[in-house]
Amino acid sequence: MSTIAASASIHAMAVVEDGAVIGENVKIGPFCHVGPKVVLGDNVELLAHSVVSGRTTLGKGCRVFPMAVIGGDPQSVHHGGEETTLRVGDNCTFREGVTVNTGTADFGGQTIVGNNNLFLANSHIAHDCRVGNNVIMSNNVMLAGHVTIEDRVILGGGCAVHQFTRVGRQAFVGGLSAVSYDVIPYGMLNGNPGLLSGLNVVGMTRAGVDRATIHTVRRAYKAIFEGDGSIRDNAAAIRDEYADCEQVIQILDFIAAESDRALSSPTRGQKG
């Protein structure tokens, strides 16, 4: 039996299956479909023709626009129909045609999306992804399975991110880019193949990073990618020098972490 708050507004032509949990002040428009294992937090709004299915939880204040499908089965040949989950935080907006899949049993069974994210029309989050907070995915962005997107990342329209790839905090990926390798925090990547083209200085400035710190991060970036050694060796060599700069340490920790993908650079994947 469903648990529906008295303050919820559900259109007579919507379908809310038995078992769903509907919070306070939720609005469900005509022709919406809410599955039996869905939990909608307070103040969620589902606009006409949107679908929330699977074992999916939407946090407070989320909005789902027409033709979006949130919580669909993973698009994986390895999925055998197991019950897996999608967990979405608060204040996320899913515009028209967005699709977000649940996880796969072989990898923990969870897709996780954080708070205050904006997913523009026809963007896609595949199974087992981890999306942080304050992320913007522009129209037609595609995340393959097992992708990690850290906080405050912006992904330009039509870009595609390869499975198991990490995109670091506050990175910027240009439209139509192919992201085949990990992108460092504060990095800027463009093109196909995607190449690092420097730092997301505009994003750092908007986030309140002062000019002196930005210059420090630039020096570290140059040492990492233009030094004589490998990227990882160069990064390890400068750690003590930049120990007092939070942003540089975030980059160095990202580079040092284990990953299934190589690191994007100004040259990796470039033909020549």
Decide: 250 and 185 in contact? Cβ < 8 Å.
Answer: yes
Beta bridge pairs of residue 69: 51, 99
Q: Which of 89, 103, 127, 132 is catalytic?
A: 127
Residue 272 falls in the annotated catalytic set: no
Residue 182 falls in the annotated catalytic set: no
Sheet with 160-161: list strands edge to edge. 15-16, 33-34, 51-52, 69-72, 99-101, 124-125, 142-143, 160-161, 178-179
Q: At 3, which amino acid appears?
A: T
Q: What is the DSSP letter of 227?
A: S
Report CA-CA distances (Å) from 18 to 22, 71, 193, 206, 228.
Answer: 11, 17, 48, 46, 63
Sheet with 166-167: list strands edge to edge. 3-4, 21-22, 39-40, 55-58, 85-88, 110-113, 130-131, 148-149, 166-167
Q: Which of 23, 114, 128, 187 is catalytic?
A: 128
Q: Which of 145, 168, 194, 203 is catalytic?
A: 145
Q: Which among 66, 62, 64 has a CA at the least distance from the CA of 89?
A: 62
Q: At 97, which amino acid appears?
A: G
Residue 145 falls in the annotated catalytic set: yes
Q: Which ranges of the chain does DSSP label H, i.e. alpha helix?
A: 201-206, 211-226, 231-237, 246-256
Decide: 61 and 80 in contact? Cβ < 8 Å.
Answer: no
Beta strands of 150-194 (E only): which ranges?
A: 154-155, 160-161, 166-167, 172-173, 178-179, 187-190
Catalytic positions, written as ranges: 127-128, 145
